Amino acid sequence: MTAAELPLPPLPRRPRGRSMHLVRERRDALRDQVVAGRPDAVARQHALGKLTARERLDLVLDAGSFTEIEMYRRHQARGMKMSGQAPHTDGVVTGSGTIDGRQVFVYAQDFTIFGGSLGAAHAAKIHKVMDLALAAGAPLIGLNDSGGARIQEGVMALDGYGGIFRRHVEASGVIPQISVILGPCAGGAAYSPALTDFTFMVRDIAQMYLTGPDVVEAVTGERVSHAELGGAQVHAVRSGVASFVHDDEESCLADVRYLVSLLPSNNMEPPLSGPSCGAARDLRPALADIVPADPAKPYDMRSVIGELLDDGDFIEVHEHFAGNVVCVLGRVDGEVVGVVGNQPLVQAGVLDIDASQKAARFVRFCDSFSIPLVTLVDVPGFLPGTGQEFGGVIRHGAKLLYAYCEATVPRISVIVRKAYGGAYIVMDSRSVGTDLSFAWPTNEIAVMGAEGAVNVLFRRELAAAADPERLRAELIDEYTEQLVHPHYAAERGLVDDVIDPATTRIAVARGLAMLRTKRKLAPQRKHGNIPL
């Protein structure tokens, strides 16, 4: 019998219905078990006042939109206290879903499994979801709740962190990256939020630090609690690490959703436009009442911003840090804009080290993702003093100057009242490249205020005068008339128009419409050397 005549082997047969049914039952039972988690561990998480990883995903994503990847992944480590303990997911839930119908990628660390600690398998899952986010050109959201590196896995845990950090840097300026701290974020894990664009923290449950209280006490002798060392309030007010702080997880994750609605999916797409609301014809007479004509009287720049933006609606970045400058995201006539404004309520709106860094990072973010910039100027100068000079205010102030000079997005500045000295230049003046510059009739653009200038220029005359106060008043009036009058800068082409405060929203809306098709490319180079 030839080979061709040999009987063919039987074809493989599909399992019978009952067998397939059993397979599905087992699969579904395992899936349900993984999703539900261990009841005792879930109860402990709730007792700490915290939601579980999957409850958090339900809040941040559109209902029913989450697609999980690598649910059944387990660690393969062997050794100290690891054998026989290999739960599915390895302490992190990863995948993709939507926010208002737009795709995002997410990972949520699960504190109920190994305290959310990061080992090789845990890191590999995060690496994969980060790679997918970058490949798909979609925002990445990390929900952090982890005790840090998994000690039992040694250097492999550290290697896993390195892979996360490298991917954060590769994705920086390409896709929006958001970190949400919903528990501990200790040791090397703290560098991940530091590399992302925005960091959310929740009071009472979030802590973030490189070395914990025990290590601090052992090395320095200082006794400090977890909250005092790395709580949400500390990072919101003192360190500036936290961009946003909330009292509970629900409001925090709701704001994450709102922030994503204002951001583009990636650096090649524009932010999502909303409907036009007639801003180009919208008079706001209340602005004249908000801002006092007297440059020495304070007011809240956020009230001005509220009149400028659609529905007075915006989200403020680093609200509690460096309060002398305000940075917000909102919309003008449906288009997303970033607004930077001096805050006269805090230190008269001066620029200092922290304010310069805060505004510079915000400007660079907006420029990375094609978000136009509106700058509201009311600045008396840089904060003087040895503390600032020794702390490097020159170097830090240069960060903001560099950020504006480098920005290629549409830029509009509005000089509300005073704009003195180097701070005027730094706050997106015409000389550093703003596209349109408007000024209110209350504007005072000068090297310094009239009184200070007279005291410097006419020191000898004032010392010799029979009535120095009368002479000083006359000289101040003369200096103001010659060098600080409202149209001085406009007459020299440094201001495009001196506008009625009530027309500010109109002027900004029309200016942004004019600049919408601006195409100014950065020079071809590897990168500049920002003064870090």
- pLDDT tens figures, 221-244: 899 998 999 999 999 999 999 999
Interior/surface letters 254-293, b for 16+ CB within 10 angstroms, e for the rest: ebbbebbbbbbbbeeeebbeeeeeebbebebeebbebbee
Residue 2, pLDDT score: 58
Checking if the pLDDT of 132 tops 70, the result is: yes
Structural domain contains residue 332: yes
Residue 324, pLDDT score: 97
Catalytic residue selected from 421, 422, 433, 452? 422
Structural domain contains residue 238: yes
Sign of CA dihedral 423, 426, 432, 433: negative
Catalytic residue selected from 91, 160, 188, 231? 188
- pLDDT tens figures, 284-295: 999 999 999 888
For residues 86 and 18, the model is more confident at 86
For residue 377, what are the β-bridge partners? 415
- Respond yes or no: is residue 162 known to be catalytic: no
Residue 78, pLDDT score: 64
Please check whether residues 316 and 225 belong to one and the same domain. no
Please check whether residues 193 and 45 belong to one and the same domain. yes
The pTM score is: 0.89
Number of compact structural domains in the chain: 3
Residue 325: domain span: 279-447+486-515
Distances (CA, A) of 482 to 104, 137, 450: 57, 54, 10
Please check whether residues 201 and 78 belong to one and the same domain. yes
> 384 is written with which tokens?
């003087």
Taking residues 51-80, what's their average pLDDT? 87
- Respond yes or no: is residue 160 known to be catalytic: no
CB contact at 8 A, 439 and 487 = no
Please check whether residues 454 and 503 belong to one and the same domain. no
Catalytic residue selected from 119, 187, 349, 381? 187
Interior/surface letters 167-189, b for 16+ CB within 10 angstroms, e for the rest: bbeebbbebbbbbbbbbbbbbbb
Please check whether residues 394 and 455 belong to one and the same domain. no
Checking if the pLDDT of 157 tops 90, the result is: no
Please check whether residues 73 and 218 belong to one and the same domain. yes
Please check whether residues 247 and 320 belong to one and the same domain. no
> 67 is written with which tokens?
């697609």
Please check whether residues 362 and 475 belong to one and the same domain. no
DSSP 403: H
For residues 62 and 447, the model is more confident at 62
DSSP 372: -
- Respond yes or no: is residue 97 known to be catalytic: no
Checking if the pLDDT of 39 tops 90, the result is: no
DSSP 175: S
Please check whether residues 101 and 245 belong to one and the same domain. yes
- Respond yes or no: is residue 115 known to be catalytic: no
Structural domain contains residue 18: no
Catalytic residue selected from 242, 348, 423, 507? 423
Structural domain contains residue 228: yes
For residues 453 and 168, the model is more confident at 168
Residue 1, pLDDT score: 53
- pLDDT tens figures, 372-430: 999 999 999 999 999 999 999 999 999 999 999 999 999 999 999 999 889 999 999 99
Structural domain contains residue 184: yes
Structural domain contains residue 428: yes
Taking residues 436-456, what's their average pLDDT? 83
Taking residues 276-305, what's their average pLDDT? 93
Q: How far apart are CA 75 and CA 150, in angstroms?
A: 11
Please check whether residues 310 and 456 belong to one and the same domain. no
Structural domain contains residue 91: yes
Residue 241: CATH number of its domain:
3.90.226.10
- pLDDT tens figures, 2-33: 555 666 666 666 655 556 667 677 777 767 67
The percentage of residues in the chain with a pLDDT greater than 90, rounded to a whole number, is 64
| Nearest residue to 134 via CA among 282, 266, 306 | 266
- Tell me the Cα Rg of the chain: 29
Please check whether residues 460 and 506 belong to one and the same domain. no
Q: How far apart are CA 382 and CA 362, in angstroms?
A: 19
Please check whether residues 219 and 334 belong to one and the same domain. no
> 139 is written with which tokens?
């925002």
Taking residues 119-142, what's their average pLDDT? 95
Residue type, 441: P
